[in-house]
Structure 1
Amino acid sequence: MNVLDITGLKAENLTEVVKGLELLLADLQVHYTNLRGYHWHVKGKDFAILHERFEKMYDEVADKVDEVAERLLQLNVEPENRYSVILAKSEIKEVTGLTSPETILPEIVKTYKTLMALERSIIEKAGEVNDETTVAIMSDFLVGQEKDAWFLASMLS
Protein backbone atom coordinates (compact mmCIF):
# COMPACT_ATOMS: atom_id res chain seq x y z
CA MET A 1 0.00 0.00 0.00
CA ASN A 2 1.15 3.54 -0.78
CA VAL A 3 1.73 5.62 2.35
CA LEU A 4 0.07 8.62 0.68
CA ASP A 5 -3.16 6.62 0.45
CA ILE A 6 -3.12 6.49 4.25
CA THR A 7 -2.07 10.10 4.93
CA GLY A 8 -4.41 11.67 2.39
CA LEU A 9 -1.63 13.72 0.78
CA LYS A 10 -1.62 13.75 -3.02
CA ALA A 11 1.64 13.11 -4.88
CA GLU A 12 0.69 15.56 -7.61
CA ASN A 13 0.39 18.33 -5.00
CA LEU A 14 3.76 17.56 -3.41
CA THR A 15 6.07 18.16 -6.38
CA GLU A 16 7.50 21.45 -5.11
CA VAL A 17 7.76 20.19 -1.53
CA VAL A 18 9.66 17.12 -2.70
CA LYS A 19 12.02 19.22 -4.85
CA GLY A 20 12.76 21.39 -1.84
CA LEU A 21 13.35 18.41 0.42
CA GLU A 22 15.65 16.77 -2.13
CA LEU A 23 17.70 19.97 -2.38
CA LEU A 24 17.75 20.30 1.40
CA LEU A 25 18.97 16.72 1.74
CA ALA A 26 21.87 17.45 -0.62
CA ASP A 27 22.69 20.74 1.12
CA LEU A 28 22.65 19.11 4.55
CA GLN A 29 24.94 16.29 3.39
CA VAL A 30 27.56 18.75 2.15
CA HIS A 31 27.14 20.94 5.25
CA TYR A 32 27.72 17.87 7.43
CA THR A 33 30.96 17.04 5.63
CA ASN A 34 32.16 20.64 5.84
CA LEU A 35 31.47 20.70 9.58
CA ARG A 36 33.49 17.51 10.03
CA GLY A 37 36.39 19.22 8.28
CA TYR A 38 36.08 22.33 10.45
CA HIS A 39 36.01 20.10 13.55
CA TRP A 40 39.18 18.31 12.47
CA HIS A 41 41.15 21.30 11.24
CA VAL A 42 40.24 24.28 13.45
CA LYS A 43 43.21 25.89 15.22
CA GLY A 44 43.78 28.86 17.47
CA LYS A 45 42.90 30.14 20.91
CA ASP A 46 39.24 29.08 20.57
CA PHE A 47 40.17 25.55 19.47
CA ALA A 48 38.63 23.71 22.42
CA ILE A 49 35.31 25.58 22.29
CA LEU A 50 34.94 25.36 18.52
CA HIS A 51 36.17 21.78 18.20
CA GLU A 52 33.45 20.70 20.64
CA ARG A 53 30.82 23.01 19.10
CA PHE A 54 31.47 21.77 15.55
CA GLU A 55 31.06 18.17 16.75
CA LYS A 56 27.69 19.04 18.29
CA MET A 57 26.68 20.81 15.09
CA TYR A 58 27.58 17.94 12.77
CA ASP A 59 25.82 15.45 15.05
CA GLU A 60 22.67 17.60 14.81
CA VAL A 61 23.02 17.84 11.03
CA ALA A 62 23.37 14.04 10.78
CA ASP A 63 20.03 13.72 12.56
CA LYS A 64 18.48 16.26 10.15
CA VAL A 65 19.80 14.34 7.15
CA ASP A 66 18.09 11.22 8.44
CA GLU A 67 14.87 13.09 9.19
CA VAL A 68 14.69 14.62 5.70
CA ALA A 69 15.45 11.26 4.06
CA GLU A 70 12.73 9.58 6.12
CA ARG A 71 10.27 12.36 5.26
CA LEU A 72 10.98 11.80 1.57
CA LEU A 73 10.28 8.10 2.05
CA GLN A 74 7.01 8.98 3.80
CA LEU A 75 6.14 11.05 0.73
CA ASN A 76 6.83 7.98 -1.42
CA VAL A 77 10.13 9.33 -2.82
CA GLU A 78 13.49 7.56 -2.70
CA PRO A 79 16.14 9.82 -1.13
CA GLU A 80 19.40 10.27 -3.00
CA ASN A 81 22.47 8.72 -1.41
CA ARG A 82 25.06 8.91 -4.21
CA TYR A 83 27.56 11.56 -3.22
CA SER A 84 28.34 12.47 -6.85
CA VAL A 85 24.68 13.38 -7.36
CA ILE A 86 24.49 15.14 -3.99
CA LEU A 87 27.50 17.32 -4.86
CA ALA A 88 26.06 18.22 -8.24
CA LYS A 89 22.68 19.16 -6.74
CA SER A 90 23.76 21.00 -3.58
CA GLU A 91 23.79 24.79 -3.46
CA ILE A 92 26.36 24.47 -0.67
CA LYS A 93 29.83 23.68 -1.94
CA GLU A 94 32.58 21.61 -0.37
CA VAL A 95 35.04 23.63 1.69
CA THR A 96 38.48 22.49 2.69
CA GLY A 97 41.68 23.97 4.00
CA LEU A 98 40.12 26.36 6.50
CA THR A 99 41.72 26.33 9.93
CA SER A 100 41.02 29.69 11.56
CA PRO A 101 37.75 30.71 13.19
CA GLU A 102 37.94 33.96 11.19
CA THR A 103 37.52 32.00 7.95
CA ILE A 104 35.39 29.08 9.20
CA LEU A 105 32.65 31.01 11.00
CA PRO A 106 31.68 33.24 8.05
CA GLU A 107 31.50 30.12 5.88
CA ILE A 108 29.07 28.52 8.35
CA VAL A 109 27.03 31.75 8.44
CA LYS A 110 26.77 31.67 4.64
CA THR A 111 25.62 28.05 4.80
CA TYR A 112 23.01 28.83 7.46
CA LYS A 113 21.60 31.62 5.30
CA THR A 114 21.20 29.16 2.43
CA LEU A 115 19.64 26.45 4.62
CA MET A 116 17.23 28.75 6.43
CA ALA A 117 16.01 30.38 3.20
CA LEU A 118 15.37 26.95 1.70
CA GLU A 119 13.60 25.68 4.80
CA ARG A 120 11.34 28.75 4.84
CA SER A 121 10.54 28.14 1.18
CA ILE A 122 9.68 24.50 1.96
CA ILE A 123 7.43 25.65 4.82
CA GLU A 124 5.57 27.94 2.43
CA LYS A 125 5.14 25.26 -0.23
CA ALA A 126 4.19 22.55 2.28
CA GLY A 127 1.66 24.86 3.93
CA GLU A 128 -0.02 25.48 0.58
CA VAL A 129 -0.74 21.74 0.19
CA ASN A 130 -1.60 21.05 3.86
CA ASP A 131 1.58 19.05 4.47
CA GLU A 132 1.70 20.01 8.14
CA THR A 133 4.27 17.34 9.01
CA THR A 134 6.87 18.83 6.68
CA VAL A 135 6.00 22.30 8.01
CA ALA A 136 6.61 21.07 11.56
CA ILE A 137 9.93 19.44 10.67
CA MET A 138 11.21 22.56 8.93
CA SER A 139 10.03 24.77 11.78
CA ASP A 140 11.94 22.59 14.26
CA PHE A 141 15.06 22.87 12.09
CA LEU A 142 14.78 26.66 12.07
CA VAL A 143 14.49 26.84 15.87
CA GLY A 144 17.88 25.18 16.31
CA GLN A 145 19.54 27.02 13.44
CA GLU A 146 18.42 30.41 14.66
CA LYS A 147 19.98 29.60 18.04
CA ASP A 148 23.18 28.58 16.26
CA ALA A 149 23.01 31.81 14.24
CA TRP A 150 22.94 33.74 17.51
CA PHE A 151 26.03 31.82 18.68
CA LEU A 152 27.83 32.52 15.40
CA ALA A 153 26.88 36.20 15.38
CA SER A 154 28.15 36.52 18.96
CA MET A 155 31.44 34.85 18.07
CA LEU A 156 31.90 37.17 15.07
CA SER A 157 31.09 40.37 17.00
Structure 2
Amino acid sequence: MGKLNSIGLNETKSKKLAEKLNELLADYSIFYQNVRGYHWNIKGDKFFELHDKFQELYEDLFIKIDEVAERIRTLGHTPNHKFSDYLKEADIKESSEVADGTKDMEDTLESFKIIIALQRELLDLSEDAGDEGTNALMSDYIREQEKLVWMYSAYLK
Protein backbone atom coordinates (compact mmCIF):
# COMPACT_ATOMS: atom_id res chain seq x y z
CA MET A 1 0.00 0.00 0.00
CA GLY A 2 2.95 2.33 0.52
CA LYS A 3 3.55 5.10 2.97
CA LEU A 4 0.54 7.27 3.82
CA ASN A 5 0.47 11.03 4.19
CA SER A 6 -1.22 12.94 7.03
CA ILE A 7 -4.71 12.51 5.52
CA GLY A 8 -4.30 8.78 4.87
CA LEU A 9 -3.49 8.86 1.16
CA ASN A 10 -0.60 7.12 -0.56
CA GLU A 11 2.31 9.58 -0.64
CA THR A 12 3.36 8.73 -4.19
CA LYS A 13 -0.17 9.17 -5.54
CA SER A 14 -0.59 12.37 -3.52
CA LYS A 15 2.60 13.76 -5.02
CA LYS A 16 1.34 13.04 -8.53
CA LEU A 17 -1.98 14.70 -7.68
CA ALA A 18 -0.20 17.76 -6.26
CA GLU A 19 1.91 18.08 -9.42
CA LYS A 20 -1.20 17.92 -11.61
CA LEU A 21 -2.98 20.39 -9.30
CA ASN A 22 -0.02 22.75 -9.71
CA GLU A 23 -0.57 22.54 -13.47
CA LEU A 24 -4.20 23.46 -12.88
CA LEU A 25 -3.11 26.30 -10.60
CA ALA A 26 -0.91 27.65 -13.39
CA ASP A 27 -3.73 27.48 -15.93
CA TYR A 28 -6.19 29.09 -13.55
CA SER A 29 -3.74 31.89 -12.76
CA ILE A 30 -3.13 32.76 -16.42
CA PHE A 31 -6.86 32.45 -17.16
CA TYR A 32 -7.64 34.75 -14.22
CA GLN A 33 -5.25 37.44 -15.45
CA ASN A 34 -6.56 37.17 -19.01
CA VAL A 35 -10.13 37.66 -17.79
CA ARG A 36 -9.04 40.66 -15.72
CA GLY A 37 -7.64 42.12 -18.93
CA TYR A 38 -10.92 41.48 -20.75
CA HIS A 39 -12.83 43.16 -17.92
CA TRP A 40 -10.57 46.20 -17.85
CA ASN A 41 -10.26 46.71 -21.60
CA ILE A 42 -13.52 45.60 -23.21
CA LYS A 43 -14.97 48.08 -25.71
CA GLY A 44 -18.02 48.30 -27.91
CA ASP A 45 -21.77 47.99 -27.79
CA LYS A 46 -21.66 45.00 -25.40
CA PHE A 47 -19.40 46.79 -22.91
CA PHE A 48 -21.75 46.82 -19.92
CA GLU A 49 -22.91 43.25 -20.40
CA LEU A 50 -19.44 41.77 -20.90
CA HIS A 51 -17.75 43.99 -18.31
CA ASP A 52 -20.06 42.51 -15.64
CA LYS A 53 -19.75 38.92 -16.94
CA PHE A 54 -15.97 39.08 -16.95
CA GLN A 55 -15.99 40.42 -13.39
CA GLU A 56 -18.19 37.52 -12.26
CA LEU A 57 -15.80 35.12 -13.95
CA TYR A 58 -12.56 36.52 -12.54
CA GLU A 59 -14.04 36.66 -9.04
CA ASP A 60 -14.94 32.96 -9.35
CA LEU A 61 -11.49 32.12 -10.72
CA PHE A 62 -9.89 33.92 -7.77
CA ILE A 63 -11.76 31.63 -5.37
CA LYS A 64 -10.81 28.53 -7.36
CA ILE A 65 -7.13 29.52 -7.38
CA ASP A 66 -7.19 29.68 -3.59
CA GLU A 67 -9.06 26.38 -3.28
CA VAL A 68 -6.64 24.56 -5.59
CA ALA A 69 -3.61 25.94 -3.73
CA GLU A 70 -5.12 24.93 -0.40
CA ARG A 71 -5.86 21.44 -1.74
CA ILE A 72 -2.19 21.08 -2.71
CA ARG A 73 -1.25 22.05 0.86
CA THR A 74 -3.80 19.60 2.26
CA LEU A 75 -2.11 16.84 0.25
CA GLY A 76 1.17 17.79 1.95
CA HIS A 77 2.83 19.65 -0.90
CA THR A 78 3.65 23.22 -1.86
CA PRO A 79 1.63 25.20 -4.40
CA ASN A 80 3.64 27.11 -6.96
CA HIS A 81 3.32 30.85 -6.54
CA LYS A 82 5.60 32.48 -9.10
CA PHE A 83 4.02 33.83 -12.25
CA SER A 84 7.18 32.91 -14.16
CA ASP A 85 6.49 29.26 -13.24
CA TYR A 86 2.86 29.61 -14.30
CA LEU A 87 3.89 30.95 -17.70
CA LYS A 88 6.19 27.94 -18.24
CA GLU A 89 3.74 25.33 -17.01
CA ALA A 90 0.33 26.55 -18.21
CA ASP A 91 -1.32 25.34 -21.39
CA ILE A 92 -3.39 28.53 -21.40
CA LYS A 93 -1.40 31.37 -22.91
CA GLU A 94 -1.52 35.06 -22.11
CA SER A 95 -4.03 37.03 -24.17
CA SER A 96 -2.65 40.00 -26.02
CA GLU A 97 -5.88 41.15 -27.68
CA VAL A 98 -8.31 41.97 -24.89
CA ALA A 99 -10.68 44.70 -26.15
CA ASP A 100 -12.75 42.64 -28.64
CA GLY A 101 -15.71 40.97 -26.90
CA THR A 102 -16.12 38.20 -29.47
CA LYS A 103 -12.41 37.31 -29.37
CA ASP A 104 -12.43 37.48 -25.58
CA MET A 105 -15.37 35.05 -25.40
CA GLU A 106 -13.69 32.71 -27.88
CA ASP A 107 -10.51 32.77 -25.78
CA THR A 108 -12.57 32.17 -22.64
CA LEU A 109 -14.18 29.10 -24.20
CA GLU A 110 -10.79 27.78 -25.30
CA SER A 111 -9.47 28.27 -21.76
CA PHE A 112 -12.42 26.34 -20.34
CA LYS A 113 -11.73 23.52 -22.81
CA ILE A 114 -8.16 23.24 -21.49
CA ILE A 115 -9.18 23.51 -17.84
CA ILE A 116 -12.04 21.03 -18.03
CA ALA A 117 -9.81 18.45 -19.76
CA LEU A 118 -7.18 18.83 -17.03
CA GLN A 119 -9.82 18.56 -14.32
CA ARG A 120 -11.07 15.32 -15.91
CA GLU A 121 -7.50 13.97 -15.64
CA LEU A 122 -7.53 14.97 -11.99
CA LEU A 123 -10.83 13.13 -11.50
CA ASP A 124 -9.21 9.93 -12.71
CA LEU A 125 -6.06 10.43 -10.61
CA SER A 126 -8.02 11.32 -7.48
CA GLU A 127 -10.31 8.33 -7.91
CA ASP A 128 -7.30 6.04 -8.25
CA ALA A 129 -5.76 7.58 -5.10
CA GLY A 130 -9.00 7.34 -3.11
CA ASP A 131 -8.87 11.13 -2.73
CA GLU A 132 -12.51 12.11 -2.31
CA GLY A 133 -11.61 15.72 -1.47
CA THR A 134 -9.89 16.44 -4.78
CA ASN A 135 -12.43 14.33 -6.65
CA ALA A 136 -15.40 16.29 -5.25
CA LEU A 137 -13.69 19.61 -5.97
CA MET A 138 -13.01 18.70 -9.60
CA SER A 139 -16.50 17.27 -10.07
CA ASP A 140 -18.06 20.50 -8.78
CA TYR A 141 -15.83 22.64 -10.99
CA ILE A 142 -16.59 20.60 -14.12
CA ARG A 143 -20.35 20.68 -13.59
CA GLU A 144 -20.31 24.45 -13.08
CA GLN A 145 -17.97 25.15 -15.99
CA GLU A 146 -19.84 22.95 -18.46
CA LYS A 147 -22.87 25.17 -17.88
CA LEU A 148 -20.77 28.30 -18.45
CA VAL A 149 -19.44 26.82 -21.70
CA TRP A 150 -23.01 26.28 -22.87
CA MET A 151 -24.02 29.84 -21.93
CA TYR A 152 -20.93 31.53 -23.42
CA SER A 153 -21.29 29.46 -26.58
CA ALA A 154 -24.93 30.54 -26.88
CA TYR A 155 -23.82 34.17 -26.52
CA LEU A 156 -21.50 33.81 -29.54
CA LYS A 157 -24.20 32.37 -31.84
Amino acid at match of 1:156: L
Deviation digits for residues 110-145 of structure 1, max 9, x if unmatched? 100000000001001110110111000001111221
Structure 1 CA distance for aligned equivalents of residues 116 and 74 of structure 2:
22
Structure 2 CA distance for aligned equivalents of residues 98 and 28 of structure 1:
17
- Name the counterpart of 1:145: 145
Amino acid at match of 1:78: T
Structure 2 CA distance for aligned equivalents of residues 100 and 127 of structure 1:
40
- Name the counterpart of 1:42: 42
- Name the counterpart of 2:96: 96
Deviation digits for residues 51-72 of structure 1, max 9, x if unmatched? 0000000000000000000000
Q: Does 1:4 align with 2:5?
A: yes
- Name the counterpart of 2:84: 84
Amino acid at match of 1:119: Q
Task: Describe the SS at the equivalent of 1:9.
Answer: coil
Structure 2 CA distance for aligned equivalents of residues 142 and 45 of structure 1:
31
Q: Does 1:135 align with 2:121?
A: no
What does residue range 49-128 of structure 1 map to in structure 2 within 5 Å? 49-128=49-128
- Name the counterpart of 1:27: 27
Structure 1 window deviating more from structure 2 (7-16 vs 101-110): it is 7-16
Q: CA 1:78/1:15 → structure 2, altered by over 3 Å: closer, same or farther?
A: closer
Structure 1 CA distance for aligned equivalents of residues 86 and 138 of structure 2:
20
Amino acid at match of 2:74: Q
Amino acid at match of 2:147: K
Structure 1 unmatched runs, 5+: none
Residues matched between the structures, number: 154
Structure 2 CA distance for aligned equivalents of residues 78 and 17 of structure 1:
12
Structure 1 CA distance for aligned equivalents of residues 73 and 99 of structure 2:
37
Q: CA RMSD in A?
A: 1.2
Percent identity between matched residues is 33
Structure 1 CA distance for aligned equivalents of residues 98 and 40 of structure 2:
10
Structure 1 window deviating more from structure 2 (19-28 vs 7-16): it is 7-16
Deviation digits for residues 22-61 of structure 1, max 9, x if unmatched? 1000000000000000001111111111100000000000
